[in-house]
Structure 1
Amino acid sequence: MKDILISSFDMEVGGVERSLISMLEHFDYETYKVDLMLYRHQGEFMKLIPKEVNLLKESLPYTSFRKSISELIREKNYPLAVTRVLAKLNTNILGRMKKMEEPGYLQMQLMWRYALPFLPNVEKEYDVAISYLWPHYFIAEKVKAKKKIAWIHTDYSKIETDSRMDIEMWNKFDHIVAVSDACKESFIKKYKELTNKVIVMENITSPLFIKKMAIEQTAHEMLPDKRFKLMTVARLSHAKGIDNGVKALKLLKEKGYNIAWYVVGYGGDEDKVKQLVRKNNLENDFILLGKKTNPYPYIYASDIYVQPSRYEGKAVTVTEAKILGKPIIITNYSTSSSQLTDGIDGIVCDLSVEGIANGLEILLLNENLRNQLANNCMNNDYSNSDELQHLYYLIDKECQRNHLKSSVKGVI
């Protein structure tokens, strides 16, 4: 039985975390022994971790990545507090110099890089170590494994980081798994020298589970609302374009449409979004529902699912909306072609406020088109647990190679 280590940050409600749970639910535990390293044992999805998974004990230094600087100081964890301050200061300087639109990724990269000397190594050696969420420094630097695999979930051509540091880190991995073909293409466009390391393995989806969860409870906040209801499930961040959604709704309301836009999610831009909602007098129309462990009843209760993102790898929530038979509209982010086929199982609109508003208006005015898109989704099979065969192939190929090397060495 091969020893596998999988690492991620925590089990807060999010698309990456949902995809990780789906993968763990379908894993072959008769062939592989799986240890899970979470930097912090928190989040509503903790209870969904399969019993076959061995959850490793929380390591105090690694919990720092989900704590504020003030928390670290109160805990007298001064070295890691200093690394956080340095990362923030250097990011502010570099961000202004390079006019970065979203410097948060660089700050996280520097935070990990500076913290490495103060983080413990993992004693056990694994057959395969998998880093499920960027930045991948833990698996790259602190774990011994015969083979290392890193996951990419987003459009890396849009992420502003120190590319030299990134290349150094990526080269510690044998394989890089992209969640879509478009995600792979955007990655190798930025990092051409890593082309041979990248394969595609789509997020595992379970249609039966999603449909079951959709009717398990009611979206009680939405039920009394008789207006036409839009729905987005996303992190409140620059990447997800929720601010553009607010502005697009303002344009539609000015045209007289009786609609409401609901958002399930949380994130660092929550205050900004709330301020924008107030500024446009949309408090009763653009409704933030906050964090929901089970978002499916809310998608199910909506009339149209909207993904107004600036960039994506492959949004888990769009596939989930397809499974629930919703008319879908997404923006024309660079990997949108891997998400749906325009006019068949959804609509791709221009990536702008006006583009979102115009795309929604087309669907609002055309009930036949909405029904056609919904029916096309309902008639498709989105189950794909066989995607895990790609991962098993990588694991077994490398383990067999190492076994052969050991056998030859023994003969010599």
Structure 2
Amino acid sequence: MGQLLIASYDMEVGGVERSLAGLLDHLDYDRYDVDLMLYRHSGDFMSLLSDRARLLGEVPEYATFRTSIGETFRSGHSRIGLTRLLSKAHAELAGRLGRIAEPGYIQQQLMWSYALPFLPRHSGRYKAAISYLWPHYFVAEKVEADIKIAWIHTDYSTIAALRKLDLRMWRKFDYIIAVSEACRSSFLQQYSELEDRVMVMENLIAPDTIRLLADEQKGETDNPMLQDNRFKLLTVGRLSHAKGIDNAVRALSLLKKRGYDEIAWYVVGYGGDEGMIRELIQEHGLEDSFILLGKQSNPYPYMRACDLYVQPSRYEGKAVTVIEAQILCKPVLITDYPTAQSQVMSGFDGWVTDNTIEGIADGIQKLYRHEELRDHLSKNCQGLNYDNEVELEKLYHMLEGKAAMTLVH
């Protein structure tokens, strides 16, 4: 039996965390003895972790990556706290000099890079080690393994990162897994020299589980969508720049100005942009029609209750929530982010609209007015097979050191 380590940050509510839980559910534990390293044991999705994977104890130094700078100092890790302050200042300077609107990725790179001398090595040696969420410095620098694998969950054409620093880290891995072909392509536009080690493996989906969870009963007080007779839109995702929730507020405001008063937009999720989004809602007078439902460990009853699922993202790797809505046979509308064409076949199992406020409003307006089009998209989803457990064979080939480029496509 092979020893396997999987590392990630925590199990807060999110698409990456949900896909990690899916991977742990599908692994063959007769073939691999699995250790799970979470930097912090927190999040509503902790309950989704398979009990067949051994959850390792929390290591205080690594837990600091999921705390504020102030908490890092208060917990006695002053050296790591100083590296956090330094990385923040360095990233802000790089952002100003490079005119980078969102230098957060650079800050994360520098935070890990500066902190490495003060982080303990992981004991023992593994047949294989998997780093599930970028930056991948823990597995790259602090773990001994025969084979190292890192995951890509996002569209790299949208990320502003320090290339040389990133490349040095990526070179530590034998295989790099992208969650879609479009995700792989965008990564290789930045790191073409790594082409021979980048594979595609889609997120593992459990359709029967999603359908079962969608049927969980939630009362009208728990799910206000049940008593709302308006045309209900739903988005599930972090309240962050990438997910475009601010553009969703503006698009709904535009629809109201066009006279579409019977549309309500619900959002399941939380994140750092919540304050800004609430201000936008108030600014546009949408308190009664743009409704934040907050963090929900089971978003599927809300999906079941919506009339149209909308993904207004600025960029994605491959949005798991879109696939989940399709499994529930909901019509879906997504913005034309760079990897959108790998997500849905527009006009067949979903609708792709321009990635602008006007585009989002136009797409919603079209699907609102044409019930037969929504029915067409829903019925086509019924005929598709979303069970992709065969994807796991690609991972097993990598774990055995047998991965071939024939597995990429």
Question: Would you say same fold, with TM above 0.5?
Answer: yes
* Correspondences of 1:4-403 after superposition (within 5 Å): 4-218=4-218, 220-257=223-260, 258-397=262-401
What is the rounded CA distance, in whole Å, between the counterparts of 1:211 and 1:58 in structure 2? 33
Aligned to 1:239, the other structure's residue is in SS state coil
- Aligned-residue offset at 1:398: 5.4
Aligned to 2:92, the other structure's residue is in SS state helix
The TM-score, its normalising length taken from structure 1, stands at 0.96
Aligned to 1:23, the other structure's residue is in SS state helix
**Does the aligned pair in 2 maintain the 1:252–1:361 contact within 8 Å?**
yes
What is the rounded CA distance, in whole Å, between the counterparts of 1:345 and 1:154 in structure 2? 22
**Does the aligned pair in 2 maintain the 1:147–1:398 contact within 8 Å?**
no
- Please list every run of 5 or more consecutive structure 1 residues that lacks an aligned counterpart in the other structure: 400-412
What is the rounded CA distance, in whole Å, between the counterparts of 1:221 and 1:9 in structure 2? 32
- Aligned-residue offset at 1:380: 1.1
- Aligned-residue offset at 1:255: 1.4
What is the rounded CA distance, in whole Å, between the counterparts of 2:293 and 2:174 in structure 1? 41
What is the rounded CA distance, in whole Å, between the counterparts of 1:105 and 1:43 in structure 2? 22
- Aligned-residue offset at 1:369: 0.2
- Aligned-residue offset at 1:217: 2.4
Aligned to 1:165, the other structure's residue is in SS state helix
Identity of aligned residues (%): 56
Q: Which amino acid aligns with 1:241?
A: G
- Aligned-residue offset at 1:243: 0.7
Deviations 1:204-224 (A, max 9, x none): 000000000001122622112
- Please list every run of 5 or more consecutive structure 2 residues that lacks an aligned counterpart in the other structure: 404-409
- Aligned-residue offset at 1:79: 0.3
Aligned to 1:348, the other structure's residue is in SS state strand
What is the rounded CA distance, in whole Å, between the counterparts of 2:180 and 2:372 in structure 1? 30
Aligned to 2:399, the other structure's residue is in SS state helix
- Aligned-residue offset at 1:103: 1.1
Q: Which amino acid aligns with 1:331?
A: T
- Aligned-residue offset at 1:397: 2.7
- Aligned-residue offset at 1:70: 1.0
**Does the aligned pair in 2 maintain the 1:237–1:268 contact within 8 Å?**
yes
What is the rounded CA distance, in whole Å, between the counterparts of 1:87 and 1:108 in structure 2? 8
What is the rounded CA distance, in whole Å, between the counterparts of 1:217 and 1:44 in structure 2? 19
Greater than 3 Å deviation, 4+ residue runs: none
- Aligned-residue offset at 1:242: 0.6
What is the rounded CA distance, in whole Å, between the counterparts of 1:73 and 1:101 in structure 2? 28
What is the rounded CA distance, in whole Å, between the counterparts of 1:209 and 1:74 in structure 2? 42
Q: Which stretch has the larger CA shift, 95-104 or 213-222?
A: 213-222
What is the rounded CA distance, in whole Å, between the counterparts of 1:101 and 1:371 in structure 2? 40
The TM-score, its normalising length taken from structure 2, stands at 0.96
Q: Which amino acid aligns with 1:289?
A: L
Count of residues paired in the alignment:
399
What is the rounded CA distance, in whole Å, between the counterparts of 1:323 and 1:186 in structure 2? 27
Q: Which amino acid aligns with 2:325?
A: A
What is the rounded CA distance, in whole Å, between the counterparts of 1:34 and 1:338 in structure 2? 32
What is the rounded CA distance, in whole Å, between the counterparts of 2:343 and 2:20 in structure 1? 19
Aligned to 2:150, the other structure's residue is in SS state strand
Deviations 1:379-403 (A, max 9, x none): 211011111000001111359xxxx
- Aligned-residue offset at 1:99: 1.1
What is the rounded CA distance, in whole Å, between the counterparts of 2:109 and 2:274 in structure 1? 23
Q: Which amino acid aligns with 2:128?
A: V
Aligned to 1:383, the other structure's residue is in SS state coil
**Does the aligned pair in 1 maintain the 2:140–2:172 contact within 8 Å?**
yes
What is the rounded CA distance, in whole Å, between the counterparts of 1:166 and 1:334 in structure 2? 22
Give the corresponding residue for 1:404.
none
Q: Which amino acid aligns with 1:291?
A: K
- Aligned-residue offset at 1:157: 1.1
**Does the aligned pair in 1 maintain the 2:241–2:273 contact within 8 Å?**
yes
RMSD between aligned alpha carbons?
A: 1.0
**Does the aligned pair in 2 maintain the 1:35–1:55 contact within 8 Å?**
yes
**Does the aligned pair in 1 maintain the 2:147–2:401 contact within 8 Å?**
no
